[in-house]
Amino acid sequence: MTARPVKHSLTLHGHRTSVSLEDPFWRAFREIAAERGQPVNTLAEEIDEGRAPDVGLASAIRVFVLARYRGQGASQTASRPL
């Protein structure tokens, strides 16, 4: 896979930030948010609040998506080991 990360803007707690993820992760992230009936920004806020201080938001989102599709549930955070 040679997909480059794509930067998108998100709003977390009223502040704009940008996150770079590969397109398959963006698609999966949007699908999970839709399944949960919530906006992508709200899901990103939840992940942001649950991540360890030394873990970047993009990494936390990737781990969240991976955990969800590995069947570990959408509450998995980047601070927990795989």
Residue 81: per-residue pLDDT:
42
Residue 71: per-residue pLDDT:
87
Q: Which residues are paired to 16 by β-bridges?
A: 11
| pLDDT tens by residue, 19-74 | 999 999 999 999 999 999 999 999 999 999 999 999 999 999 999 999 999 987 65
Question: Please, are residues 44 and 12 in contact by the beta-carbon 8 Å criterion?
Answer: yes
Please check the confidence at residue 78 and state whether its pLDDT lies above 60.
no
Residue 25: per-residue pLDDT:
96
Instruction: Tell me which architecture the domain covering 6-69 has in CATH.
Output: Orthogonal Bundle (1.10)
Domain boundaries, the chain: 6-69
Question: Please, are residues 57 and 48 in contact by the beta-carbon 8 Å criterion?
Answer: yes
- Cα separation of 66 and 43, whole Å? 15
Residues 6+ apart with CB under 8 A from 67: 73, 74, 76, 82
Question: Please, are residues 19 and 5 in contact by the beta-carbon 8 Å criterion?
Answer: no
